[in-house]
Structure formats: C-alpha cells, structure tokens
Structure 1
Amino acid sequence: MTSQTTVEKASREPQDTLPPAPAKGLRGHPWLTLFSVAIGVMMVALDGTIVAIANPAIQQDLGASLAQVQWITNGYMLALAVSLITAGKLGDRFGHRQTFLIGVVGFAAASGAIGLSSSVALVITFRVLQGLFGALLMPAALGLLRATFPAEKLNMAIGIWGMVIGASTAGGPILGGVLVEHVSWQSVFFINVPVGVVALLLGVVILKDHRAENAPRSFDIGGIVLLSQAMFCLIWALIKGAEWGWGDFKTIAFLMAAVGLFAVFAFSQKNVREPLIPLAMFRSVPLSAGVVLMALMAFAFLGGLFFVTFYLQNVHGMKAVDAGLHLLPLTGMMIVGSPLAGVLITKFGPRVPLVGGMVCTAVAMFGMSQLDTGTGTATMSVWFGLLGLGLAPVMVGATEVIVGNAPMELSGVAGGLQQASMQVGGSLGTAVLGAVMASQVDSHLAGNWADAKLPPLSPQQLDQASSAIEVGIPPVGPDLPAPVVEKITNVAHDTFVSGMSTAFMVAGIVAVIAALVATLTKRGENAEVGAGAGHI
C-alpha cells in the first residue's frame, strides 16, 4: 500500500464514515474523555515552563554546572520533539487509549524519580524519559478527542484542550515560583505524581479505545530512524546555535545534516508500504497551512515569552511569583478565549478566527516592542491580554485544521505533527529572536557605555557584559560605588530593552506572515470520519 492509498482509502470506504455506537455510561463519554485527557496534558504543558523556575535551586543544591542545568531543559525538549510523530504513529497502531495511559504512568514515574534524584546526571536522565513519555501522551490525547467527539462538537473540545495547554504553559512560572520558594525544587516534580494517579484512574474508567478500519499494521523502522535523526539535528542546532555562533561550522553542519536527512526521509516515504508520514497528507493545502501556522504562532509566542520573563524579573526586579502574576492577563484571556474560539470556529469555520487571532497577536507584539524600563503594570496588562486573546483561536483553530484534515487512521500522526510543529517553531523563535537580541546588544552596548561616561571595557570584558545584558542582568561587581552601579544598571536595562524591542518587532512581522498563511485554512475535510456519537 503506498502513502497515497493510505490517505485516500478513508474517503473510499463507506464503513469508515459511519459513527460508532453512542457511548453508554462513563466509558467513552465525550466530555468526561476531555476532562480525563486534560489532566494528563496539563502535566506535560506545565513542565514546559515550570522547571525553568526550579533550575537555579537545582544548580545550587546539586552543585551542577551551567551546561548541566541547560541539559535539564534541553534533554526534555529534544526527547519530546524527536519522539512526537513516532509516538502518534504508535497510537494509530496500538490505540490511543493504551499509549495515553502508558504516557501518563511513565511521565508521573519519571517525575517522582527526578524528585528523588541525588545527582544532576540522574535528573537529566529522568528528564529525557519525561520527554519520551510526554511525547506518547500528547498526540494520543488529540487522537482520543478526534475519535470521541462528533464533528459539530470537536472545535469546542479542542478549544478547552487548548485552554488547558495555554493556561498550564503560562501558569507554570507562578506555580513553580510558589513551590520552589515555599516548599522545595523537588516539589515541582513530585506534584506530577498525584496528578498522574488521578489521570490514570480516570483514564482506566473513562477512556474508550477507538480503532480506525484502516489503522496501520506495521512500522516504517527506517523512517522512524531517519525522522528522529533529522529532528535531533534540527533542534540541536537551534539549541546550540547561540553558544556556537550561527556562522560556526558545527551549527551549519547540524543544519545541513537536518536538511539532508529530511530529504532522504521524504524520498523513503514514497517507497514504503506503511509510511510513517504518508506524504499525500500534505496534498491537503489546509493541513499544510495549519502545520506552518502552528510553527509560526509558536515562533512568535514562545520566542517572545522567553524575553518577557527576563524583562519582568531582571529589569523590573520582580520575584518569580510576581512575574507570573503579571502574566495573568495572558493566561486569563487564553482561558476565556479558547472555548469561545471553539464556538466561533464551529459557527464560521477556522479561517476568519485564525486570521483575526494572528492579527491580534501581531498588534500585541508591536505593542510590546514599545515597552521600556518604566512601563507600568496597566500598559503591560493590555498587551499581554491582547496576546492571549489572539493566541487562543490560533491554538484551537490550527489544531482542528491539522487533525480534522487528516484521515481518522492518521489522527495520531496528525497530533504528532501539531505538537512537533509547535516544538520546532518555539525552538526556532527562541533561537532567532535570541540572535536578534544578541546582535542588538553587541551593536549598541559599547556606544551606550561610552555615552554614560563609564570606564572603557576590554574586548573580553565587553563580551562578558554582553552575555549578562542579553538576559537583562547588569554586569556590576561587588565593590563598585553606588553611582557607578546605577549608571551600569541603566545602561544594561536600556540596552536590553532596545534589543527586546527589535525582537518583538520581528515576532510581530512573523505574526503578520502567519495571518496570511491562515487565509489558506478551512474546516477539516475528514472531520466526519469516525466522529463519535456519545451523549453530549
């Protein structure tokens, strides 16, 4: 069977278009299914941001180096990004209920093991396992929603699902700050254990396995190896590019290796009986547009959010908890906007809400480019709230476009594509906007330093100062007089804000491009395939 026939078969065989029998009792109930998967998804989404708050405490407690602490985040990100599409395929093959439950158990167990770890090496090892099990869990959640909800209710379900992800992602720093400050860094991981137990119990009782008639029966092992290697090279280059330099041979080598491996992977998929990703999926313009749109949205959102945390904590001097509270308008508007977006997309289709959402996101990014060292909470809240309002329909609509335009038997792969595009987009946004920030700091620091009539710096001192200022930290020593410290702090913050402003302008331009891409989207063509008919 070729990749083309795998995709087209869903539309040829009438038995696949018949909805399953209505659910009886708890098992398979659509809204209870949504509640069950949301608990599991919340763990993974929280861990994307909550651990950053715990990293300094882990470094101090375990005596870790900066490189080791970076691996606590990078190991998780790499494992998650590399495994998502393969994990989605596993769900298509063995059932999304099974893969979801395995993901929940493994993620919770790895979290508990991190909390019990006595060395940073063990922390990194179990973080990698967290990423692998998280990859099993996320696409399976989307596959379960796709199989359980009827087409007219799917957007609302994805809206609530997106709300959980958005709220968890944005709320991670708040919860992490509270736990680290008042309990311990271990509690950031231990909290996943009871949550995982609840998700497991709910899943065992409520989740119902759905198998498409055309579900894959074998695995493209070669494709899995090629795609995993390609994703690793790409994400690794994006992670290390700022450290190595974007023109460095190692960075270019990893990027070229990624391009080559992706090309070989694409060629191999044409000649495999059961391809990992049937390339005919991408003949659907809306599906392809949805994947690109999700990556561009993550580029602007996650790349921009990276600087917001430094701006609040290092420029305005807020504690982690206070910085998280200042992001509540973003979180709140995503919570309110995601279900509302589901209703609007159900009524009007995804195109108008998606275009409108990315326009709002672009306006918010351009507005945030005007933030300065003296900007008050009220002004910040306006732009953060508008950003949340813009992101909500994109998170919901792009997900529905990707999953809804894929055949039922490829819903797991589609869910993996959705999550992988977010990971790649977020990594690319952080890398590119980080490079923009570094370039602006390098361009303006020497001049700003001289204008403040501060003692000249040697090239080595200038490099060290630039590295600190790129995250908003003034490069001041312990014995400097107060007036000099004040001057250096003003220079550092002004230079950081200048670079952040340019980074947000770039993010805004990317959001405008995303709005244009959104015009190519439309309602899922296969939304009726396997639409569940539970009592709703």
Structure 2
Amino acid sequence: MSTAPTGSSTLPASGAAPAPSGRRANPWLTLVAVAFGLFMVGLDGSVVSIANPEIGRALHASTADLQWVTNAYLLALAASLILGGKLGDRFGRRTFYLVGVAGFTLASVAIGLSGSIAGVIVFRAFQGLFGGLLMPNTLGLLRAVFPPKKFGMAVGIWAMVSSVSTALGPIVGGLLVQHVGWESVFYINAPVGVLALAVSAFVLPQSRDSTGHHRFDVGGVVLLALGLVVLVFGVVKGETWGWTAAGTLGSLAAGLAVLALFCRHETRREHPLLPMRLFRSPALTIGTVITAVNFFTLLGSIFFIMLYLQNVRGFSPVEAGVRTLPLSLASVVAAPLGAAVTDRFGARVSMPIGMLLQAGASLWMLTWQSDSAYGAFWPPFVALGLGVGMVMSASSEAIVGNAPVRDGGVAGGLQATALQVGGALGTSVLVSLISGRVGGTLVDELTGAGVPAQAAARLGEAEDAVSMGVAPVSASMPEQLRAAVVEGSGHAFMNGVHTAAAVTAVLCLAGAVLAAVGVRRGSVPAAG
C-alpha cells in the first residue's frame, strides 16, 4: 500500500490551482464525474470489434481497411496518453479531461456521419487522440483529491467501471448492430459524453502542479510519440506480415531504439515529460509490467473466445455476449475486492492473486473442445473476470499511488499506455499463435475426421478462415464430407486456442512470481 509522497506539502505548489471548496471539494463527486468518461472510452474499445463486419459490408471495406479502423485508434491513443497526462499535470487536469470528453464525443458522432471507410479511419484516429487526453487525467484527478487512505478504494471503483465497460462491449455492440445499425455503436457515445460534460463541469475541481519556470519538453514529446507509434505499428502488423518478417522486426527494433533514446533524453531534462525517477519505485515499475500482462491476457482471450462462440458454436453476437456475462459480473466484484485486499495487505498480495486466477482460467481453457458444454466455460470466465478486476485495482494503486501527486496525470498516462500496448500485443500475438498452430495441424485433423487426403490437402489452403473459427465448407459438398470438414476444422482451431491459452497461463504465472518477489509493501513514491 502506498504512502504519502515524501517532501509533499499541504500548501499549493507554485502555479497550482487554488484549493477547491463546496461541491468541488467532494472527492466522491469527482469519481462519479470521471466514471462517465471512463465508461465511454472503455465501452467504445470493445464494441467496435462487433461492428467491424457490418462496417465492412456497408462501406465496402477490405480486410486491411477494417484493420485500420482499429489500428488508427490504437496508434493515436498510444502516442498521446503520456502527453495527455503531462498536459493535465501542468495546465489543469479538469481542463484536459473536459477537452478529451468533448473531442471524443464529437469524433464518435463524426464516424457515424462519415459515410466512407476513409472517414471512419480518420475520425477513429481523432477518437484515439482525444482518448489520450481523457484517460490519464481520470486517475490524475482522483490522485489529487483523494487522501492516501481512501485512494485505494477510489481506484477499485475506477477499475470496476473500466473492467465492466470493456466486458459489456460485446453485449451492447451486438444489440446495437443487430437491431439498429453499425453507426449506433458510435452514436451511443453522444448522450454519455454530454452527460459526462454536464456533470464534470459542475463538480470537478481544477488541479495542476506546475512550477513557474517550466519549459515544456518538446523533444520528449516527439521521441515518445514516434517510438510508441512505430513500436505499436510493428505489433499490430506482426499478425499479417509475420513475426519474423523484416518489416515487423525492423518496426519493433526501431520503436525500441527510439524509446531508448527517449529515456536517455529524459534523464538530461530539468522538467522531463516522463520523469525517470518514477521508476525508482519497484511497485510502480512492476505494476506497469503487470498492467501490460493483464490486458494481454484479457483482450487476447476475449478475442479468441468471441471467435469460438460465434464462428465455431454459431451463437449470434448478442448470444455470445450474454454467455460472457460471468466475466463482466466477476469484474464488478473483483475491482473493489482487489482494492480492499491491496489496502489491507499491499499489492504484493493482491497482484499475484489476480495473476494466479488468470493463469487458472487459461489452464482451464486447455480442456475446451469444439463441442464442450457451457459448464466448461463459465468457471474460467469467472476466474478471468476476478483476476483482471483484482489486478486492475492493484496495479492502478501500485502505479499512480506510488507517484507523487504532481505526477499523477503522467502516472495515469503510463498505466494507460501499458494497458494499450499489452492489449495490442495480446490480440496480435495470440491470433498469430492460433494461425500458426492451425496451419500446422489442419490437414492432419481433416484427414483424421474422415476427409479424403487429396481434399484435405486442398482445404489446407483455407487455414486463414479456420484460424478465425470458420470451416471451409460449401453448399455443393456432400453432407458427410461437410460434417467431416466442420469437425476437423473445429479440432484444428481448438489446437490453436490451446496454444494461446498455454502462453497466457505461462505469462500470468511469471507475472505472479514477479509481483510476489519484486513488490514491497510501504514503498515511498519517488520525490525530487
């Protein structure tokens, strides 16, 4: 559990906003206000995947176009998160949170009105940019108004809102796409955004921590944005280019090199964009790593779970979303529970517990088959939701709670960046693992299911479709052959799922060990 920053004062720093009074002095009203914006961004992040097929049909978009609907958002978000937190810390967290909410809302409406795939991609990038202003300042605002003893519980509720909004995305998206249209998954942000602006303008206090002679780190902004964009670009293209392709390796290496240059640059700045002194705290550093592993597991697992439920089992988007409700409900319970455990025993206990729960969920998935009953699904869904919610609370406390108040926005941006990079890696890496495993086993599984060897060899070329859970059958196939192809394709897909689940289990077990060994209770936030 974190302690108050050393050397901190109850008096406003030079250039800081005056102490709030009245309704703006109530930290719980601040939590309510930021929850609206957080819910909007979390929901949007997961409903879009449900809408993508309909967007493709309606706008005659290619597969590459649909990839950029996601990638444009992700790249813009990754490039702007830490900058958004820094701007809030210096010029006003309330100001940049409101700008982020307003911009995100307007960009959402513009996507629905665009009428072309190019417009959707451009405004998705604007969504990411404004999301980068919004997200880190939610935690920065909470860090500034909650006393240390209550900050952990506030983070628990923050994590609950984030987890639930992400988990509800498939259900809400399925209902909207099925009964209204793909534009509605973006239009839904309009009423939420307007409500967020109204409540926030009424109750949010202004908070900032700026010195009177602060020179903005323009070089750091450029280096960090460039490094993250290039790195995330390599991650999201690794799935299609191949992880050993020159383009993928070159992008990853270039991104890491630029980020290393950024770190060197920051150590030489009087007022850096991302103070390297923050990483003196083992809890903050490990919390950042665990955040990435947490969302690697969550978003990567949700991706292949939805492929399995919809394409292999034949459920509609709404039916698939309803069947993942145990994950959502478990997240609701786990976030405040994780905060309470962190307050009582420290992140050294709560983070490993959350990681072990996720590892258990992944290991349980190794028992799944293409025709498994629902009784095999809901227990790992519950374990995954409990683990994600608990780690979300614990890692938020470890990262933001172990940063000085004046760096609360930057710490929030650091956490959100780790979350986005981890999620991007999870989806891309696990899809690649599934594809590779399917490609290596498809022909054997088809022949084992009774498909003639010659036909199985031809169907082996359809590994991309099978990697998405789609059996390469046609109406002209005899019924017996069609059944054999469906059976063999299902087995090959499950081979890929088992490989992906094994990898997430190993990562989560490693994360549990890292947190248990590396995090110490009562660590002091980096001052200076």
Instruction: Normalising by structure 2, report the TM-score.
Output: 0.94
Q: Work out whether 1:340 is the aligned partner of 2:342.
A: no
Q: Report the secondary structure of 1:27's partner residue.
A: helix
**What amino acid sits opposite 2:519 in the alignment?**
T
Question: Which of 496, 503, 508 is the matching residue for 1:506?
Answer: 503
- Residue aligning to 2:263: 266
The alpha-carbon distance between structure 1 residues 528 and 206, as it changes in their structure 2 partners (threshold 3 A), is farther
- Residue aligning to 1:329: 326
Distance in 2, matches of 1:306 and 1:438, equals 13
Worse-superposed segment, 129-138 or 262-271: 262-271
Distance in 2, matches of 1:237 and 1:159, equals 33
Distance in 1, matches of 2:513 and 2:218, equals 37
Q: Report the secondary structure of 1:57's partner residue.
A: helix
- Residue aligning to 1:226: 223
Question: Which of 3, 8, 11 is the matching residue for 2:6?
Answer: 11
Distance in 2, matches of 1:452 and 1:389, equals 38
Q: Deviations 1:464-495 (Å, cap 9, x if unpaired)?
A: 41101111100112321221111111111111
Q: Work out whether 1:478 is the aligned partner of 2:475.
A: yes
Distance in 2, matches of 1:105 and 1:526, equals 36
**What amino acid sits opposite 1:327 in the alignment?**
T
- Residue aligning to 2:56: 59
Worse-superposed segment, 137-146 or 444-453: 444-453
Q: Work out whether 1:139 is the aligned partner of 2:104.
A: no
> Displacement of 1:168 after TM fit?
0.7
Distance in 2, matches of 1:527 and 1:252, equals 36
Q: Report the secondary structure of 1:26's partner residue.
A: helix
The alpha-carbon distance between structure 1 residues 468 and 99, as it changes in their structure 2 partners (threshold 3 A), is same
Query: After the TM superposition, which residues 264-343 of structure 1 pair with which residues of structure 2 at under 5 Å, given as runs?
Result: 264-343=261-340
**Contact kept? 2:20, 2:206, Cα under 8 Å:** no
Q: Report the secondary structure of 1:406's partner residue.
A: coil
Query: After the TM superposition, which residues 14-413 of structure 1 pair with which residues of structure 2 at under 5 Å, given as runs?
Result: 14-15=9-10, 24-212=21-209, 214=211, 217-413=214-410
> Displacement of 1:460 after TM fit?
9.3
Q: How many residues align?
A: 521
> Displacement of 1:459 after TM fit?
11
Q: Report the secondary structure of 1:87's partner residue.
A: helix
**Contact kept? 1:85, 1:417, Cα under 8 Å:** yes
The alpha-carbon distance between structure 1 residues 422 and 215, as it changes in their structure 2 partners (threshold 3 A), is farther
Q: Deviations 1:373-414 (Å, cap 9, x if unpaired)?
A: 222222211110111111111000101100011111111110
- Residue aligning to 1:532: none
Q: Report the secondary structure of 2:205's partner residue.
A: coil
**Contact kept? 1:362, 1:507, Cα under 8 Å:** yes
Distance in 1, matches of 2:468 and 2:263, equals 39
Q: Report the secondary structure of 2:6's partner residue.
A: helix
Distance in 2, matches of 1:345 and 1:259, equals 33
Q: Deviations 1:11-46 (Å, cap 9, x if unpaired)?
A: 345456999998643223111111110000111101
- Residue aligning to 1:440: 437
Distance in 2, matches of 1:394 and 1:265, equals 28
* RMSD value, Cα: 2.3
The alpha-carbon distance between structure 1 residues 440 and 189, as it changes in their structure 2 partners (threshold 3 A), is same
**What amino acid sits opposite 2:447 in the alignment?**
A
Worse-superposed segment, 415-424 or 351-360: 351-360
Task: State percent identity of aligned pairs.
Answer: 43
**Contact kept? 1:85, 1:420, Cα under 8 Å:** yes
**Contact kept? 1:401, 1:523, Cα under 8 Å:** no
Distance in 1, matches of 2:174 and 2:213, equals 44
Distance in 2, matches of 1:159 and 1:341, equals 7
Q: Deviations 1:186-236 (Å, cap 9, x if unpaired)?
A: 111111011100000001000001223659833211111111111111111
Q: Report the secondary structure of 2:183's partner residue.
A: helix
Distance in 1, matches of 2:267 and 2:76, equals 26
Instruction: Normalising by structure 1, report the TM-score.
Output: 0.93
The alpha-carbon distance between structure 1 residues 36 and 457, as it changes in their structure 2 partners (threshold 3 A), is farther
Q: Deviations 1:305-345 (Å, cap 9, x if unpaired)?
A: 21111111111110000111111100001001111221222
> Displacement of 1:64 after TM fit?
1.3
**What amino acid sits opposite 1:67 in the alignment?**
A
**Contact kept? 1:233, 1:255, Cα under 8 Å:** yes
**Contact kept? 1:242, 1:431, Cα under 8 Å:** yes
**What amino acid sits opposite 1:81 in the alignment?**
A
**Contact kept? 2:443, 2:460, Cα under 8 Å:** no
The alpha-carbon distance between structure 1 residues 481 and 222, as it changes in their structure 2 partners (threshold 3 A), is same
Structure 1, unpaired ranges of 5+? 1-9, 530-536
Q: Report the secondary structure of 2:377's partner residue.
A: helix
